[in-house]
């Protein structure tokens, strides 16, 4: 008798569970969101979410059947009103270098107009590398897409034939209004096998890595592409070359001027692929400021005369703007002083000479005479070694790929132009020649024609 009672209880429990499940399922169907859904993140409030999406708090409350006293929890899914035509889960993505509004629209098959509305984009300048973009991601699988660049004189129909695809499907995937609605150099998405890589670059390029950019530091760009490709870059009015690190890996280094104003600057990449087709991509990158110190220096007035200083800078500029295809250095640079932390004046310090405004900066690092001998920072070739009015006895060493080291105010020079130098080799003695207020070594590193913080090269290996 007892076993029968237990059996009836279990059957009733099972049936009641099925009823609840059906009711719950019906309730879930009734809760289908009327717009895109945002997943609450740590630190979010109704106010911050409303500001982010350009709606009012009252609209958020109404769309989600919430009251003023209701709380938000991390992971909550809330509907964002006022975004007609936008569906899916709203996810925040960091924009890498090599993506544009158009490429993201094509990659995720989301109309550009939706992305503009959702992110309140006013100008493409806002989509700089490292910025955030909200994308509505649906549960529908994104079609597999590869990429190809439209060559000069090539039509969309010809490209479709080459890629073995339907030209109208090609137009649809790329949101083109007609088969003629494109230009040479445009990177198009092709239905078919997926190839990894940035959407604004053609398929032979599988990856682009861009370093952070800071005042007075070395910027590094890495491109992974088919062997036989060639690239060139331009940043803040300086054009730099890329070189092969190894098969399929290309790198470009460019110095950022210490006085460059923090903000956005276009980074332009031009490329030629092994098949001869070319492309261009320009995207803003953020140059961040660093807190440099201020110094007041007194020197003979003749040594800060613009006629003197400009003449000397004009003379040296052709040297430091050279790009030697051969790389001489290996790994980290060495300090030219036996005490790399014994520094009288650091790189980038803003300077006032003889009471002037702080319009000057210190283009290198000053070491005191803890030892008289000066050693070369890396392997290279001497391109200049002689006496100059401002820099005194001056040695300039080419390390290849647009990288130079400079040694100033020496009392004696031990090398001459054309000499091949090894890292750690003694090249001269510390002195007080030129524009100097006492015996010291002024040491510089130039990258792409720009002075950069040399201490970074003691800690960071560049390819």
Q: Tens of pLDDT along 387-437?
A: 999 999 999 999 999 999 999 999 999 999 999 999 999 999 999 999 888
Alpha-carbon Rg for the chain, nearest whole angstrom, is 31
C-beta of residue 95 within 8 angstroms of C-beta of residue 126: no
**Rounded mean pLDDT of the chain?**
89
pTM of the complete model: 0.84
Task: Find the distance separating the first CA and the last CA of the chain, reported in whole Å.
Answer: 84
Tell me what the mean pLDDT of segment 352-374 comes to. 94
pLDDT exceeds 80 at position 141: no
What mean pLDDT is predicted for residues 200-213? 93
Q: Position of tokens 């190894």?
A: 246
- What confidence category does residue 5 fall into, taking pLDDT thresholds of 50, 70 and 90? very low
Cα separations in angstroms, 384 against 72, 319, 364, 369, 408:
67, 8, 18, 23, 12
Measured between alpha carbons, how far is 373 from 279 in angstroms, rounded to an integer? 50
Classify the phi-psi angles of 340: left when phi > 0, otherwise alpha if psi is within -120 to 50, otherwise beta: alpha
Share of the chain above pLDDT 70, in %: 91
Render pLDDT for 24-53 as a digit per residue (tens, 0 to 9). Answer: 333 233 356 778 999 999 999 999 999 988
pLDDT at residue 245 is higher than 80: yes
Structure tokens at 450: 């720009």
Q: 94, 131 in Cβ contact below 8 A? A: yes
CB 374 within 8 A of CB 393: no
pLDDT of residue 275: 84
User: Listing from the earlier edge strand, what are the strands of the sheet with 243-246?
Assistant: 205-210, 218-225, 249-255, 243-246
Q: What is the pLDDT of residue 15?
A: 36
List the domains of the chain with CATH numbers. 37-137 (3.10.350.10), 145-191 (3.10.350.10), 205-288 (2.60.40.10), 294-459 (2.70.70.10)
E strands present in 59-128: 77-79, 89-94
Is a pLDDT exceeding 50 seen at residue 342?
yes
Q: Are strands 249-255 and 243-246 parallel, antiparallel or unpaired?
A: antiparallel
- Residue 246 in this model has a pLDDT that exceeds 90: yes
**Residue that has been written with the tokens 């283009």 in this structure:** 363
Question: How many other β-carbons are positioned within 10 Å of the β-carbon of residue 363?
Answer: 22
What does the pLDDT read at residue 31? Answer: 58
Confidence (pLDDT) at 209: 97
For the stretch 50-82, pLDDT in tens is: 998 889 999 999 999 999 889 899 999 999 998
Determine the pLDDT at residue 212: 97
Q: Tell me the three state secondary structure of residue 359.
A: coil
pLDDT of residue 449: 98
2 three-class SS: helix
Contacts of 405 (CB under 8 A, 6+ apart): 333, 336, 376, 377, 378, 380, 396, 397, 399, 443, 444, 445, 446, 454
Q: Residue 444: name the closest of 411, 412, 413, 399 by CA.
A: 399
Q: What mean pLDDT is predicted for residues 296-307? A: 84
CA distances from 271 to 96, 127, 149 (A): 18, 21, 11
pLDDT value of position 182? 86
Nearest to 254 by CA among 288, 220, 286, 281: 220
């Amino acid at each position: 008798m007892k076993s029968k009672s237990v059996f009836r209880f279990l059957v009733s429990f099972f049936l009641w569970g099925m009823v609840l499940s059906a009711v719950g399922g019906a309730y879930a169907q009734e809760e289908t969101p009327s717009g895109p859904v945002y997943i609450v993140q740590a630190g979010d409030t109704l106010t911050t979410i409303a500001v982010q999406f350009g709606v009012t708090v009252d609209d958020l409350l109404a769309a989600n059947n919430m009251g003023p006293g209701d709380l938000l929890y991390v992971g909550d899914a809330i509907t964002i009103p006022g975004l007609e035509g936008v569906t899916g889960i709203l996810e925040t993505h960091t924009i890498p270098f090599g993506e544009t509004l158009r490429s993201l629209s094509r990659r995720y098959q989301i109309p550009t107009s939706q992305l503009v509305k959702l992110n309140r984009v006013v100008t493409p300048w806002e989509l700089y590398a490292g910025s955030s973009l909200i994308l509505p991601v649906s549960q529908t699988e994104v079609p597999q897409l590869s990429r190809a660049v439209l060559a000069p004189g090539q039509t969309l129909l010809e490209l479709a034939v080459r890629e073995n695809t339907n030209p109208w499907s090609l137009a649809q995937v790329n949101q083109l209004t007609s088969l003629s609605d494109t230009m040479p150099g445009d990177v198009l998405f092709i239905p078919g096998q997926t190839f990894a890589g940035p959407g604004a670059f053609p398929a032979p390029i599988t990856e682009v890595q861009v370093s952070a950019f800071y005042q007075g530091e070395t910027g590094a760009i890495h491109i992974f592409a088919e062997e036989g490709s060639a690239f060139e870059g331009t940043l803040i009015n300086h054009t730099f070359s890329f070189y092969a690190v190894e098969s399929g890996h290309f790198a470009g280094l460019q110095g950022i001027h210490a006085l460059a104003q923090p903000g956005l600057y276009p980074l332009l990449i031009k490329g030629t692929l092994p098949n001869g087709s070319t492309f261009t991509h320009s995207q803003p990158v953020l140059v961040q400021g660093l807190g440099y110190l201020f110094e007041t220096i007194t020197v003979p007035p003749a040594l800060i005369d613009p006629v003197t200083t400009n003449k000397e800078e004009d003379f040296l500029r052709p040297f430091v703007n050279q790009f030697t295809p051969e790389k001489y250095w290996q790994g980290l640079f060495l300090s030219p002083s036996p005490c790399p932390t014994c520094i009288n004046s650091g790189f980038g310090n803003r300077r006032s000479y003889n009471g002037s405004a702080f319009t000057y900066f210190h283009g290198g690092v000053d070491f005191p005479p803890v030892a008289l001998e000066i050693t070369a920072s890396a392997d290279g070739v001497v391109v200049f070694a002689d006496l100059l009015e401002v820099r005194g006895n001056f040695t300039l060493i080419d390390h290849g790929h647009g990288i130079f080291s400079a040694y100033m105010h020496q009392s004696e020079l031990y090398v001459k132009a054309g000499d091949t130098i090894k890292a750690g080799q003694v090249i001269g003695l510390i002195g007080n020649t030129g524009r100097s207020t006492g015996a010291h070594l002024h040491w510089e590193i130039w990258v792409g024609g720009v002075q950069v913080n040399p201490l970074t090269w003691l800690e960071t290996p560049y390819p």
